[in-house]
């Protein structure tokens, strides 16, 4: 019985380390998708100047996963004309989703500038958010292989230490 408990304890702690590593990878992936969507939005604004609903659809098509869902939901609300304050709408959409802190912060910042300013203001807002996303992504990717390996190793070591203490 004790051996089973020890094995389960080590597996649980090791799983926690792998969960931390997976969350880090997920956040980096979402930031990359958001950067791509922002780049696509900027290009479209510079050369075609579509309506905001169409711009959200274009951003959704350029991204994937949860970022795509957010832009599609915003596009749907814009088409149905359920939106009076885009910033509040983006905040309400983001609150419903389980997003990493940096992704949530950047999307909220995007929502505060979307549809508010002239073309130059829109482009500047997109560039500001994209720059912040790149900075957040760079911070995540610094020594990421070593750091993620450390998370996993430390989790297993903590499980082993707890097992030794309890046996």
3 state DSSP class of 114: coil
Distance CA 9, CA 161 (A): 10
For CA atoms 67, 109, 38, 118, give the dihedral sign. positive
Record the pTM: 0.82
Look-up of token digits 């080590």: 10
Written as tens digits, the pLDDT of the chain (167 aa) is: 778 887 888 888 878 888 888 888 899 999 999 999 999 999 998 888 888 889 999 999 999 899 999 999 999 988 887 777 888 888 888 988 889 999 999 999 998 888 787 888 889 999 999 999 999 999 888 877 887 888 778 887 888 887 787 77
Q: For residues 2 and 18, what is the distance between their CA atoms, to the nearest angstrom?
A: 24
Q: Are 14 and 161 in contact (CB under 8 A)?
A: no
């Amino acid at each position: 019985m004790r051996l089973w408990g020890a094995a389960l304890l080590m597996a649980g702690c090791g799983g926690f380390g792998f969960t931390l590593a997976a969350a880090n990878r997920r956040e980096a992936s979402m930031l990359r998708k958001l950067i791509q969507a922002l780049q696509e939005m900027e290009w479209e604004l510079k050369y075609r100047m579509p309506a905001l609903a169409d711009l959200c659809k274009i951003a959704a098509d350029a991204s994937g996963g949860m970022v795509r869902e957010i832009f599609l939901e915003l596009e749907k609300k814009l088409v149905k004309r359920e939106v009076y304050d885009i910033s509040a709408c983006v905040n309400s959409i983001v609150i419903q989703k389980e997003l990493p802190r940096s992704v949530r912060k950047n999307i909220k910042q995007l929502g505060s500038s979307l549809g508010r300013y002239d073309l130059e203001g829109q482009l500047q807002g997109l560039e500001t958010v994209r720059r912040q996303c790149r900075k957040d992504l760079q911070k995540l990717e610094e020594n990421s292989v070593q750091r993620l390996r450390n998370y996993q190793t430390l989790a297993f070591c903590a499980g082993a230490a707890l097992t030794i203490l309890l046996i």
